[in-house]
Amino acid sequence: MVNVLVTNLPYLLRGALVTLWLAVIVVTVGTLLGTGLGVLATGRSRILRMAITVYIFVLRGIPVLVVMFLGYYAFPALGVRVNAYVAVGVAQIVYVGAFTAEIVRSAILSVHPGQVAAAKSLGMRRAAILREVLLPQATRIAIPPLVNNALTAVKQTSYASVVGAWELTYAAREIVERTLASFQIFLGVMAIYFIICYPLALLARWYEKRLAVSH
């Protein structure tokens, strides 16, 4: 019974590698984009603040799957040929970016106002206050929700299979169609997703503890 899984494991692992790649790109770029937007959302430009707020609220209100479909069908409609991976990647980055932006924005705003007053009173400029005072303290607050966000993003890469981008879940469906051993195969898939996600969660715990030391 386990045999089906063992024989098909190499194929699954090839899919897992694609998933891993997709996840790394989506999480990295999405988090960086979101962090930048989150910082700008606390800035002085009212227009920028409003634009980012709209972005956050719109993206938060629609399922990632719909964003992906939109990406997948919108690019060709605009006359741009893209492969499924690019459509999926861009859609998920934009989605992760919105959630990250909101986490970072609220984390920065939750730093005690006395901290900014103290930094300002020394004559520190906005960039220095952000770098030396706000971001280090916001990071501590933002790490748990950011990791949650990242883990969700990793798992949501499985939606890529819906628009025909081949990765772990797609590979699993192919095998199941051939072997009909859905239980064994998806049990294996589950284990692989867990193995990808678990170290990330561990890393976050470790980092959280390290930050806690300096408080």
Partner 1 sequence: MTRAMAMIEITDLRKSFGANEVLKGVSFAVERGEVVVVLGPSGSGKSTLLRCINLLEDWQAGDIRIDSETVGYFDGGGRRRAWPEARAAKVREQVGIVFQSFNLFPHRTALENVMMGPLHVRRIAKPQARALAAGLLEKVGLGDKADQYPATLSGGQQQRVAIARALAMQPKVMLFDEVTSALDPELVGEVLIVMRRLAEEGMTMVIVTHEIPFARDVGDRIIFMDAGAIVEQGPPAQVLASPSSARLKLFLRRYQGDYLAV
Smallest distance from the beta carbon of 134 to partner 1, in angstroms?
10
Contacts of 104 (CB under 8 A, 6+ apart): 34, 35, 37, 38, 39, 41, 138, 142, 146
With contacts defined by CB under 8 A, name the span among 79-87, 119-127, 189-197, 198-206 that binds partner 1. Answer: 119-127
Piece of 74-82, 89-97, 128-136, 164-172 that binds partner 1 (CB under 8 A):
128-136
Q: Write out the binding residues for partner 1, residues 96-115 only, by CB under 8 A.
A: 112, 114-115
Smallest gap from residue 211 Cβ to partner 1 (A):
8
215 near partner 1, rule: CB under 8 A: yes
Residues near partner 1 (CB under 8 A), total: 22
Give the count of beta carbons closer than 10 Å to the beta carbon of residue 63: 11
| Cα gap 110→144, rounded to integer Å | 15
**Spatial CB neighbours of 140, under 8 Å, sequence gap ≥ 6:** 208, 211, 212, 215
**Sign, Cα dihedral of 127, 130, 132, 133:** positive
Establish if 214 lies at the interface with partner 1 (CB under 8 A): yes
Among 6, 128, 187, 190, binds partner 1 (CB under 8 A): 128
Q: Does 119 bind partner 1 (CB under 8 A)?
A: yes
Give the residue with the Cβ less far from partner 1, 61 or 114: 114
How many angstroms from the chain centroid is the CA of residue 90?
12
**Distance in angstroms (rounded) separating the CA atoms of residues 59 and 70:** 12
Cβ 205 to partner 1, closest distance in Å? 19
Burial of 66 (0-12, 13-18, 19+ CB in 10 A): exposed
Per-residue contact track with partner 1, 140 to 159, x per CB under 8 A?
x-------------------
Give the Cα separation of 104 and 33 in Å (integer). 11
If the CB atoms of residues 13 and 124 are measured against partner 1, the closer one turns out to be 124
Compute the distance between CA of residue 95 and CA of residue 65 in angstroms, rounded to an integer. Answer: 10
C-beta closer to partner 1: residue 6 or 128: 128
Which range of residues in 49-57, 95-103, 133-141, 159-167 is near partner 1 by CB under 8 A?
133-141
Residues interacting with partner 1, by CB under 8 A?
A: 112, 114-115, 117-126, 128, 132-133, 136-137, 140, 211, 214-215
